[in-house]
């Protein structure tokens, strides 16, 4: 038995990620012989492209197996700086870039460096579920800015501005968004840049991890390319997990002001030391490839996103909002349904359908379904969902 004060106050409130929990529960049921249809995945169902695997294997053969610089392989940092310039129109040098163990660690490190106890972090909801926990662990205070399903999840800038206080330190943006799939438009980003000019004490963390997973009609815009005058207050979080199907490789990066990057590097040197050295060579091969090298995956997500969305639109108890990026749909349940957590538990237990409850993303009247699955799995999931909703409505 451990003493009741053994766990630090900071760690007491820490919860395990709900998406990882649901995925592993679904996997466990599958292992036990249940016929499970999983639309809960937050990761590509493609394998990492072969040329990336070959680059990492070559690195191993060449003996790249030792500690490396805490900030990351200088070649990879330079290649990312080049990518930021050519693709995102954001000039930088390697001093602006830190290689991290996934995009998640980029956010973790940055929050540890920027936040003092009580500093507030504005998080538009629905949000990627780790933001509030990472903020709390850094002793920050998450301030949720509701972008309601009823309004198509559009950010209300005036409402957000009314939640700004002298303690506000960070505003998080996530486009394309997990879980809504919404892509921020130029006008919205310009309005946010204006807001930042009015509030010079706020930093922006722009999570762009789904930048390439976007429909043909949409364009990803980084706020960093719009606002030269406030560039020093903008950080970009990105990584290789989603677009390059490299979730297990754990490679992300943080772009931003060189002084802050240096501090975040010092933190890394005292925690994880450096990202796996040969895995970084795989990421280097990825970032040096033309973005068209991943078109086959992007086209497939776009088709499957449409398949999922059109299928969901046929269920009259759901409101399906516009989504043009990432690989999720976040429909709103209309009617007398249990909480999203209970709804997803019933779906898993009774229909063998794995989805993620909207409450994990701050909206309890929604559910998240992933289209990172085959057409057959998506159709199967839609059938199971229709059956479940039909049964719950007739109860």
Ligand X SMILES: Cc1ncc(COP(=O)(O)O)c(C=O)c1O
Element (H, E) at 18: helix 18-31
- Span interacting with ligand X, options 70-78, 99-107, 137-145, 272-280, rule CB under 6 A: 99-107
Using the minimum distance from each CB to ligand X, give the nearer residue, 207 or 351: 207
Q: Quote the CA–CA distance of 106 and 238 in Å, as a whole number.
A: 8
Q: Quote the CA–CA distance of 238 and 235 in Å, as a whole number.
A: 10
Tokens of 45: 């169902």
174: contact with ligand X by CB under 6 A: yes
Instruction: Give the nearest distance from C-beta 153 to ligand X in angstroms.
Output: 14
Q: Quote the CA–CA distance of 212 and 184 in Å, as a whole number.
A: 14
Using the minimum distance from each CB to ligand X, give the nearer residue, 68 or 325: 325
Q: Binder to ligand X among 38, 40, 42, 353 (CB under 6 A)? A: 42
Identify residues 122-141 at the interface with ligand X (CB under 6 A).
128
Instruction: Give the nearest distance from C-beta 128 to ligand X in angstroms.
Output: 4
Identify residues 201-240 at the interface with ligand X (CB under 6 A).
207, 209, 239
Q: Binder to ligand X among 72, 103, 325, 362 (CB under 6 A)? A: 103
Contact 344, 367 (CB under 8 A): yes
Instruction: Give the nearest distance from C-beta 301 to ligand X in angstroms.
Output: 14
Q: Quote the CA–CA distance of 44 and 46 in Å, as a whole number.
A: 5
Q: Quote the CA–CA distance of 170 and 178 in Å, as a whole number.
A: 19
Using the minimum distance from each CB to ligand X, give the nearer residue, 124 or 239: 239
Q: Quote the CA–CA distance of 89 and 76 in Å, as a whole number.
A: 18
Strands 120-125 and 141-146: parallel
Q: Binder to ligand X among 252, 282, 325, 362 (CB under 6 A)? A: 252
Instruction: Give the nearest distance from C-beta 97 to ligand X in angstroms.
Output: 15
Contact 362, 293 (CB under 8 A): no
48: contact with ligand X by CB under 6 A: no
- Span interacting with ligand X, options 102-110, 271-279, 364-372, 382-390, rule CB under 6 A: 102-110
Q: Quick one: angle between helices 102-114 and 130-137, nearest 10?
A: 40
Positions touching ligand X (CB under 6 A) are: 42, 102-104, 128, 174, 178, 207, 209, 239, 241, 247, 252
């Amino acid at each position: 038995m451990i003493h009741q004060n053994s766990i630090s106050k900071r760690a007491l409130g820490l919860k395990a990620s709900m998406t990882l929990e649901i995925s592993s529960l679904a996997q466990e049921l599958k292992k036990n012989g249940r016929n499970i249809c999983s639309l809960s995945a937050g990761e590509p169902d493609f394998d990492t492209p072969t040329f990336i695997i070959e680059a990492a294997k070559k690195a191993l053969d060449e003996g790249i197996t030792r500690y490396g610089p805490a900030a990351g392989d200088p070649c990879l940092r330079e290649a990312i700086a080049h990518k930021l310039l050519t693709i995102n129109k954001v000039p930088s040098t390697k001093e602006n870039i830190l290689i991290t163990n996934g995009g998640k660690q980029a956010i973790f490190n940055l929050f540890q460096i920027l936040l003092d106890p009580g500093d507030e972090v504005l998080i538009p909801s629905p949000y990627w579920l780790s933001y509030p926990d990472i903020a709390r662990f850094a002793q920050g205070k998450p301030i949720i800015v509701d972008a309601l399903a009823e309004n198509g999840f559009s950010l209300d800038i005036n409402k957000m501005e009314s939640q700004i206080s002298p303690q506000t330190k960070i505003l998080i943006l996530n486009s394309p968004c997990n879980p809504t799939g919404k892509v921020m438009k130029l006008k919205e980003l310009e309005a946010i840049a204006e807001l930042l000019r009015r509030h010079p004490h706020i930093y922006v963390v722009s999570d762009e991890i789904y930048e390439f997973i976007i429909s043909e009609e949409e364009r990803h815009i980084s706020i960093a390319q719009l606002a030269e005058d406030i560039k020093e207050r903008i950080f970009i979080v990105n990584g290789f997990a989603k677009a390059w199907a490299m979730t297990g490789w754990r490679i992300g990066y943080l772009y931003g002001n060189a002084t802050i990057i240096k501090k975040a590097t010092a933190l890394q040197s005292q925690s994880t030391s450096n990202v796996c050295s040969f895995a970084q060579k795989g990421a280097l091969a990825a970032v040096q490839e033309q973005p068209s090298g991943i078109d086959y995956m992007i086209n497939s997500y776009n088709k499957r996103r449409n398949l999922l969305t059109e299928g969901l639109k046929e269920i009259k108890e759901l409101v399906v909002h516009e989504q043009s990026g990432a690989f999720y749909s976040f429909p709103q349940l209309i009617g007398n349904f249990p909480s999203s957590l209970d709804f997803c538990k019933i779906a898993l237990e009774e229909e063998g359908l794995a989805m993620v409850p909207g409450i994990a993303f701050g909206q309890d009247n929604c559910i998240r379904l992933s289209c990172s699955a085959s057409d057959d799995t998506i159709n199967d999931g839609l059938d199971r969902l229709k059956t479940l909703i039909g049964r719950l409505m007739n109860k």
